[in-house]
A and B are shown apart, each in its own frame.
Chain A
Amino acid sequence: MSFHCIACIKAAALKAPAKGMKKNSDTAQMNPFDRIALALAVNVARSCGGMITALSMGPASCSFVIYEAMAMGADKGILLSDRRFADSDTLATSTALAAAIKRLAPFDLVVFGARTSDSDTGQVGPQTAVALDLPLVSGTFDFEWKNSFFLAHRKMDEFRETYEVTLPAAFTIHPSSITPPDIALENIETAWTKKIAFWSLEDLELRADQVGLEGSPTRVISQKMAARKRHCEFIEGSVEEQAEKFVRKIKEKGII
C-alpha cells in the first residue's frame, strides 16, 4: 500500500512578538509537537511505502520549517505564504490549511501535532478535519496497517483505544508517540537542494475575508512570556516515604 500523508507543521514562536521582530529561525522553531507527528508519519511511510508532504502557513522567513521537515523525511514541502494570511486565528488557519489540503488531493492521512508550544489551543487539527469533512482520531500514538484496513491506536489519560479508520482521515498525534530521531547531516544538505512551493491566497481559491484578521472571529490582544514562579519544597521522611509523597504530589498536579 502506498499512501500520501500530509503533515501540518507550524513555526512556533520562541519569543513573544515585539515590534519589528521577524519570525525566523532565530525567533521560532518547528513546533515540537508537530515534529513528533511528522516523525511518526515518516516512520509509517518508511514501513509501507508512502510519501509525505509537509504543509505550513507562515511568512517566507519561516520556510526553514519546511526544509527541516524535508531533512526529517518529508518528500515535498509547501508553504502558504501571503501577507493576507497574517494574523489568522485558529479558524482562519484551518480554513487556509483545509483549502491547501484539498488542492493536494488525493491524500490518505493528514497529521497534526497535538497542540503548539506557543499557543496551546489544540484546535487547528480538529477544525481542519471538520472543514474537510474528515474523520479525526485525536491523541493517536501509533498507526497499524492491516491488509485491508487501517488502525489508529489512541491514548488519552489512563485509556488506550484502537480505532479502525476509513481513509482519508485526520489525526492529532500524542506527544508520547515517538522520539523524533536525530537528523543525519547529509539529509540537511539534500533537503536544502530541493525546491519548496509557495502558495498564495489565489492558489487556494479563497477570498481575502476568509483568512487573516478579517477571517478570524478571535484575536490576540497581547502576548508576553509568562514569568515562571519557582519554589522549592522539601519532602521529609525515609527514602520510600519521600518517593511516595513525591509521586502523590506530581499526580495531584496532573503531571503524571
Chain B
Amino acid sequence: MKPSPFAYHAPEDVDAALALLAELGDDGKVLAGGQSLVPMMNMRLAAPPALVDITRLTDLDHVTVDDDQVTVGATVTHERLRTHPDASRACPLLRQALDWVAHPVIRNRGTSVGSIVHADPAAELPAVLALLDGSVELRSTQGTRTVAGGDFVVGPLESDVQPGELATSVSFPALTASTGTAFHELARRHGDYALAGVGVRVDLDDDRRVAAVRAAFIGVADRPLVVELTDALSGQAHDALDTGDAVGHARDQLDPNGDIHASGSYRRHLAGILLDRAVCDAVAATTSTQEAA
C-alpha cells in the first residue's frame, strides 16, 4: 500500500528542526532512517500529517568515544556504529547486539537512536540501553533533558519522547576489562526480529569470580525485561560456572505470549537456553579472563 498524504520538511540545522517540531506538536513526526516508520506508513498503521526529516542534520552525525562513554548521534546508522572500531572496543555489547539487527541493507539506513525511540519489544538496542543503564538526550525548544536508560522505554512501541522533542543522542557507558558482555538470540532467519534474545553483562572481582550479573531479554515481554542474576551466580569461579539457578530464576520471571511464530512456552524455554550461552560467553569475554588463559 501507499502512505497517506503528508507535508515534508527537511531542516538543515537542529534549531530549525526543533522550531518545526514545536510548532507542529502532535501533527509532527521525526523521520530518521525510515526503516520502521515508512513500513508503518505504507501499511497505514501511521498517518502523520507532517514529517520532519532529520537526516540532513549533520550536527547529529557523530560517534564520540571517551573513557566514560560512547555517545551516538541521531543520524548515525546501525551499520556505521556496528563498524566503528573505537565504539566496539569501549563497549563491545554494541557490536555484539548490532550483529543481530536486521539485514545489511536495512542497517545502511536505519539509525541506532531511531531504533531505541521506536522501542520494538524485539529490538536489540533498547535492551542494550536498559542493561547498561545508558541515557538518552532529548531536546526541544524548551530545553534539554536526559532520561536514564532503564526508564526510557515505557511500553510496546512507546518511549519517553514527548511531542516537540527530538532525541539528539544516546550514550552507553564504556566497560572495563573486568566486565564481559554477550548477546544471543534466535530468529527464523538471521536479521529478522528475534523470537527471543538476551543481552548479558557480567562483572568479575579481582579473583576472577562472578561479582554481578544482569540480563536483558527481548521478544518475551512488551518491552526489554531486565533481570538481576547476581544472587544466582555470585562467587562462582570464571572457569567453573553453573548457570542452572540463574536460568531457573530468569524463567520464573518470564511469561511470554505466543504468536504465529512460536508459542509462549517455547519462547520461555528458548530464553533460558540463550541465557546460559550468553552468561558463559560474557564471562569468557572479560579481558581479565582472556589474559589469565
Q: Are A and B interaction partners? A: no
Interface residue ranges, B against A (CB under 8 Å): none
